[in-house]
Amino acid sequence: MSEITQWSLHRLREALRKKEVSAVEVARAHVDAVGKAGALNAVTTPTPERAIEMAEQSDKRLAGGEGGALEGIPLGVKDMFCTEGVASTACSNILEGFTPPYESDVTERLWQAGACLLGKLNCDEFAMGSSTETGSSGAVCNPWRGNGDARLTAGGSSGGSAAAVAARLMPVSLGTDTGGSVRQPAAFTGTVGLKPSYGRCSRYGIISYASSLDQAGILARSVTDSAILLGTIAGHDSRDSTSADIEVPDYESELKGGISKMRVGIPKEYSVDGMPGEIDDLWKQAAGWLEEQGAEIIEVSLPHTRHALPAYYIIAPAEASSNLARYDGIQYGKRAKANGVDELYGRTRAEGFGVEVKRRILMGSYVLSAGYYDAYYLKAQRVRALVARDFDNVFEKVDVLLAPTTPSAAFALGEKTDDVLALYLGDIFTVPVNLAGLPAISVPAKLNGEGLPLGMQLIGRRFDEATLLRAAKAVEDSAGFDAVPQAWWSP
Amino acid sequence: MSDAYIKGASGDDWEMVIGLEVHAQIRSEAKLFSKAPTAFGALPNSQVSLVDAAMPGMLPVLNRFCVEQGVRAGLGLHGRINLVSVFERKNYFYPDLPQGYQISQYLHPLVSGGEVVIRPEGGEEMTVRIERLHLEQDAGKSMHETGDVSLVDLNRSGIALMEIVSHPDMRSPAQAQAYVRELRLLLRYLAVCDGNMEEGSLRADVNLSMRRPGEDLGTRCEIKNLNSIRFIGQAIEFEAARQVELLEAGESIKQETRLFDIHTGETRSMRSKEEAHDYRYFPDPDLPPLCLTQEWVDSIESNLPELPQDKRTRLIRQYKLDPYDADVLTANRDNADFFEQVAQGRDAKLVANWVTGDFFAALNKSKQSINESKITPESLGELLDLVAKGDISGRIAKEVFVIMFESGTPPNKIIEEKNWKQISDINALEKYVDDVIAANPDKVEQARSKPQLIGWFIAQVLKASKNQANPKIVSELFQKKLNS
C-alpha cells in the first residue's frame, strides 16, 4: 500500500501545493487502492481514467500556481449524486445505465475546486437503508472486522462512502444523510461523518429520497478534512428552492479557538434501554474530555425524542413514494416488456425496485391516502414540529449537544435483513437531527471491546457548523483515535 | 328565470346548476417551475428542460413572473390575495406526466373569493362568485398513433396555468357561456392569458347537476376540457337532457367525469367516482410556502389597467354611448383604446358608428385585428375631420375609407389623387346650377308648382360634378334660383 493513501486531505493539499507529489501520483496511488479493494465492494463505478485525466489537469493548474481549494485531491461520491457522463443510478436497477447529461451542484463545486473523481460509491438503493445491503451492487463490507473475522456492515446508506475512506481508498468522500446515512456509517467505520444543516448544500442533482430531509454529507478521516470539504460544497444555489442564501464561513480557520466556555448539552432522552454499557461509558468520558477543555456540561431534555423515529418513518416514505413516481419506464432507465401502459408501469417498477424501496413506497402511499393522511402524515408533521421545538428550546441554553451516534457498533452483514424494525431502531439517535434540519457530526472516539469503532455525535444549531466543528475537533483531540483497520481485503 | 328551466318528458320543470373550472394558461415566456420556453406550435419536445422532463435530481424553482400574473388575475377578479399559499403534489401516473405528480395548490390557494359580473345573451346582468384561483403546472400531451404506439410531447409539461373555480351560480348554457366570455375578456385586459381557446390557452371543465326548482342540489357530473364557448353550450345542453331523462325515469345520477365528443355533440363517461384517483395530495417538500408581502401586492394593484366592467361604465358616461356600442367596443381592449383615441375632441357617437360599423365590418371581412389594420386612429380621425370641415361628403368618406383600409394611404392624399375634394366654391357651383337650369327649361317650369322637384336638380349637379359638389350649397342655390 502506497504511503500517499494514508495521508489526510489536509496533508495531501500541502504536499501538492509544495509539489512534493504530483496530482497524477496521488490519483494513481488511490486508483490502485480502489482497484485492489474489490472485496469491500465500496466503489460501484470506478472511474480511473477520468481520475488520471482530471489529475493531469490539476497538475497543469498547480504548475501555473492557480490550483483550487481541492486541487488534485482524489475522491469518490455516493451514487446518489448525478455526475455528468458517469452512470448515476442510486444503486437501483430501475436506473440501470442511466448516465446524466448534467452535474449536481455539490459535485460541480468539487470539480471546480480541482478535485478528481475516483468513482461512484455503493449505497443502499435510493439511500433507503442502514446497512448498505439493499442496492443493486450488493452489500458493502466494513474494512473493520474487530477481533473476529465475520463480514460486518459498514452502515448505511452511505456505506460505500464510509468504507472507502476508512480503508484508505480515498481521503474523503461524499455521502447523503436523510436519517443518519452519513453519521451512522462513519460511526461504524471509525471515520468522521458530517451532515450539514438542511439548506447548507444544494440538493440540485442529488437523486431525491425524501426532499425535506435529504442533505449532502461528508466522510473524512479528520474533523479538519471535513471542514475543508464543507467549505467547498456549501453555498446557495438558485436551482434548489430549499437552499439557504446565507454566507458560508471559512470553516477551516473557524476550527481554531478552542471550546472554553462552550455550553455542551447532554440530552437525557438519548440514554435508551438495551444500549451497551460501553457506549454509555464512552458518552460520559467524552463529556469529561470537553469539560477538561473548558466547556460547561449541562444536562438537557428533548422530551419528544422518542416520537422522532416513527415520525421519520412516515414522512420519509411519504415523500419517497412521490419522489420515486418518476421512475415509470417511460423516459429513461429500465423499461420492462409489457402490453399497455398500466402493465408497463407495474412490471417496470416490480422488476426495477428492490424490496426495501417497495416497502417504503407502499408505506408512503398508505400514509398519504385519503382517510389516513390526517392520522399519519399530518400527525407526523406535528411531531416533527415538536421535535424541532425541543431543539430550539435547548439551544437557548447550550451551544452544542453531545450524544452517541448509534446504539451499537457495526453488526454482521445479513444480521438484520429479516428484522426491519431492529434495523430502523438503529437510526434512533440520528433521525431527530434530520427532522429539525440541524447540522451534526459523528467523530470516532474509541474501539470497543470487540475492536470495533464507536462514534460520538455532536449536534449544532442550524447553520452553525462552525461551532459544531470546533466542538468536534475538541472530541477528536481528546479521543486521539488513530486506529487503522487491517488491510485484509488487499491482495 | 323560469325561461332558463328545461322541461322533461313528464312536463316537469328542471333547473340546471352549473359551476365552472377554467384553466387559463399564464402568458409567460418561461414555465411555472423552469426556464423552458412556452411558444405555441413548436416542434414536439423542443421546449423541455431537465426539470420539465423530471430527470433524477431536478428541482422546481418558482417563476416569480407567473406568480405576479396570478396576483393580477386575482385582483382583477376582486378576490383576496393570500399572502401565504402552498404548492402541493397531486400524485397520479400518466405517460405525459413525467414527475408522476402535478404541482398544484390545494388547501392554500393563491387567491380566495372574487366575482365576475356577466351579461348573458337575452338575460339580466348577474354576478358569478369565484371560489378560488390557484397556480399549477400543465401536463404534456399524449398522441395515440395508429397501431400500438403512443407518443408524448412534453412542450406543454410544466407550463403555468391558473385554475379559476366558480361557485355553482349559473343556471343556463347562456350564463355559462357569458361567464367564460367575460372571464376571458378580463384575463385579456390584464394581459395574463391570451385566451386563445383553440390553442388550448383557455379550457373549461363544467360541473352540472339538475334539480326541480327549489330542491336541494343534485348529484353532479363533470365534463372535462371544453375548448370553445360553443362546445360549452352544446355540452351543457346535451348533459342536462341526459340527466333529466335519467332522473325522470327514476334513476340516479352517478357522480363521474365525462368527456364531450365534438363530432357527435354528446358526452360520455370517462371514469366514475369509484375509479377516481386518490391523488394523495401533500405539500411539495421541494418548494417552501409561497410568501408574498402586502406591499408587493399593493404595487401590482396600483399598476392594474382599467378593467372591462369599469371601462364599459366609463364609456357610457363619458361619451354618452349606448350600452350596446359600449359592449361592442370593450369586448377587446385594443378596440376600446382605438375608439378613445379617435373620439378625443370629436363627435363620439359618430366615431362609435364608424368604428363599430364600417371599420369592424371591414376587419371581420379581412380577418384582421384592429392592430393589424392599416387604418390608424390618426388616419380615421383625419377622415372624420375632413367630413366635419365639409371637404368631403359622408358618401365620399365611405369610399375613401375603403381605399384607406386596403392601401393605408392617408385620406388627404386619396382625395387629392381622386380629385374627390368637395366643391364648395359658390362660383363654381353656380355654373353647374345655371347649366342644369339652362338645359331643362320645362323642368324649371314644373318646379314652380312642384317644389319637391328640387331633389332632381340637385342630383343632376352631383352627377355632373362626380359627387364632388357640396349638396347643401347646391340646394341653397337652387332654392334661390328656382324661386326667383
**Beta bridge mates, B13:** B7
**Closest CA–CA distance from residue B286 to any residue of chain A (Å):** 6
**Closest CA–CA distance from residue B159 to any residue of chain A (Å):** 18
Interface check for B107 against chain A (CB to CB < 8 A): the answer is: no
pLDDT digits (tens, 9 = 90+) for B75-101: 999 999 999 999 999 999 999 999 999
Inter-CA distances, B172 with A422, B6, B116, B212, B239, Å: 63, 9, 16, 14, 12
List chain B residues with CB under 8 Å of A125.
none
User: Taking CA atoms, what residue in B is nearest to A101?
Assistant: B50
User: Taking CA atoms, what residue in B is nearest to A95?
Assistant: B56
Are the beta carbons of A326 and B89 separated by less than 8 Å? Answer: no
Closest partner residue to A100 (CB to CB) among B56, B100, B288 is: B56
Are the beta carbons of A326 and B54 separated by less than 8 Å? Answer: yes
Q: Which fold has domain A3-263+397-479?
A: Amidase signature (AS) enzymes (3.90.1300)
The pLDDT score that the predictor gives to residue B446 is 86
Read off the pLDDT band of A157 (50, 70, 90): very high
Are the beta carbons of B93 and A204 separated by less than 8 Å? Answer: no
Q: How many CB atoms lie within 10 A of CB A337?
A: 9
- Mean pLDDT for A297-326 is 98
The pLDDT score that the predictor gives to residue A459 is 98
Interface check for B419 against chain A (CB to CB < 8 A): the answer is: no
Q: Dihedral sign, CA of B191, B196, B200, B203? A: positive
Residues A435, A428: Cα–Cα separation, whole Å: 12
Q: How many CB atoms lie within 10 A of CB A351?
A: 14
The pLDDT score that the predictor gives to residue B3 is 55
* Cβ pair B72, B162 in contact under 8 A: no
- Residue A359 sits at the vertex; the CA angle it makes with A358 and A361, to the nearest 5 degrees, is 60
Contact partners, residue A193, CB within 8 Å, separation at least 6: A158, A162, A175, A177, A182, A183, A184, A185, A186, A187, A217, A218, A219, A405, A441, A442, A455
Interface check for B93 against chain A (CB to CB < 8 A): the answer is: yes
Residues B266, B231: Cα–Cα separation, whole Å: 10
List chain B residues with CB under 8 Å of A203.
57, 59
Residues 340-359 of A with CB under 8 A from B: 341, 345
The pLDDT score that the predictor gives to residue B2 is 43
Which residue in the block uniquely carries the three cell numbers 509539489? A19
Closest partner residue to A102 (CB to CB) among B50, B61, B152 is: B50
Residues B163, B137: Cα–Cα separation, whole Å: 10
Find the DSSP H helices in B198-332.
Answer: 229-248, 294-302, 308-319, 323-330
* Cβ pair A176, A78 in contact under 8 A: yes
Are the beta carbons of A368 and B58 separated by less than 8 Å? Answer: no
pLDDT digits (tens, 9 = 90+) for A195-218: 999 999 999 999 999 999 999 999
Closest partner residue to B59 (CB to CB) among A241, A368, A373 is: A241
- Residue A409 sits at the vertex; the CA angle it makes with A405 and A413, to the nearest 5 degrees, is 120
Are the beta carbons of B280 and A240 separated by less than 8 Å? Answer: no
pLDDT digits (tens, 9 = 90+) for B32-85: 999 999 998 899 999 999 999 999 999 999 999 999 999 999 999 999 999 999
Q: Name the strand (E) or helix (H) holding B161.
A: strand B160-166
Kindly report the pTM of this predicted structure: 0.91
Percent of chain B with pLDDT over 70: 99
pLDDT digits (tens, 9 = 90+) for A7-52: 999 999 999 999 999 999 999 999 999 999 999 999 999 999 999 9
Interface check for A160 against chain B (CB to CB < 8 A): the answer is: no
Interface check for A181 against chain B (CB to CB < 8 A): the answer is: no
In total, chain B counts a number of residues equal to 484
pLDDT digits (tens, 9 = 90+) for B329-376: 999 889 999 999 999 999 999 999 999 999 999 999 999 999 999 999
Best of A126, A208, A237 to disrupt the B interface by mutation (most B CBs within 10 Å)? Answer: A208
The pLDDT score that the predictor gives to residue B177 is 97
Interface check for B324 against chain A (CB to CB < 8 A): the answer is: no
Interface check for B444 against chain A (CB to CB < 8 A): the answer is: no
User: Has residue A334 got a pLDDT over 60?
Assistant: yes
pLDDT digits (tens, 9 = 90+) for B426-476: 888 889 889 998 898 888 888 888 888 888 989 999 888 887 888 888 888
The pLDDT score that the predictor gives to residue A329 is 95
Output DSSP code: residue A439. Answer: -
Closest partner residue to A325 (CB to CB) among B60, B99, B152 is: B99
Grid cell in block for residue A214? 435529504
Contact partners, residue A101, CB within 8 Å, separation at least 6: A84, A85, B50
The pLDDT score that the predictor gives to residue B1 is 43
Are the beta carbons of A82 and B57 separated by less than 8 Å? Answer: yes
List chain A residues with CB under 8 Å of B67.
none
Are the beta carbons of B57 and A204 separated by less than 8 Å? Answer: yes
Contact partners, residue A162, CB within 8 Å, separation at least 6: A154, A155, A173, A175, A182, A185, A186, A188, A189, A191, A193, A219
The pLDDT score that the predictor gives to residue B428 is 86
The pLDDT score that the predictor gives to residue A47 is 98
DSSP-derived secondary structure for B245-281? HHHHTT--PPPEEEEEETTTTEEEEEEETTT------
User: Has residue B161 got a pLDDT over 60?
Assistant: yes
The bridge status of strand B221-226 relative to strand B256-261 is parallel
pLDDT digits (tens, 9 = 90+) for B385-435: 998 887 888 888 999 999 999 999 999 999 888 878 888 888 888 898 899
Closest partner residue to A238 (CB to CB) among B61, B152, B286 is: B61
Q: Which residues of A are catalytic?
A: 78, 157, 181
Q: Dihedral sign, CA of A99, A102, A103, A104? A: negative
Closest partner residue to A325 (CB to CB) among B93, B286, B288 is: B93
Percent of chain B with pLDDT over 90: 75
Closest partner residue to A326 (CB to CB) among B60, B98, B287 is: B98
**Closest CA–CA distance from residue B89 to any residue of chain A (Å):** 8
List chain A residues with CB under 8 Å of B55.
100, 102, 332
Read off the pLDDT band of B148 (50, 70, 90): confident
- Mean pLDDT for A386-401 is 98
The bridge status of strand B115-118 relative to strand B126-137 is antiparallel
Closest partner residue to A365 (CB to CB) among B56, B98, B280 is: B280
Best of A174, A207, A331 to disrupt the B interface by mutation (most B CBs within 10 Å)? Answer: A331
List chain A residues with CB under 8 Å of B98.
326, 330-331
SS3 B388: helix
User: Has residue A380 got a pLDDT over 50?
Assistant: yes
Residues B259, B233: Cα–Cα separation, whole Å: 14
User: Taking CA atoms, what residue in A is nearest to B92?
Assistant: A325
**How many cross-chain Cβ pairs, A to B, lie less than 8 Å apart?**
93
User: Taking CA atoms, what residue in A is nearest to B147?
Assistant: A340
pLDDT digits (tens, 9 = 90+) for B279-301: 999 999 999 999 999 999 999 99
Interface check for A382 against chain B (CB to CB < 8 A): the answer is: no
List chain A residues with CB under 8 Å of B56.
82, 88, 90, 95, 98, 100, 207-208, 326
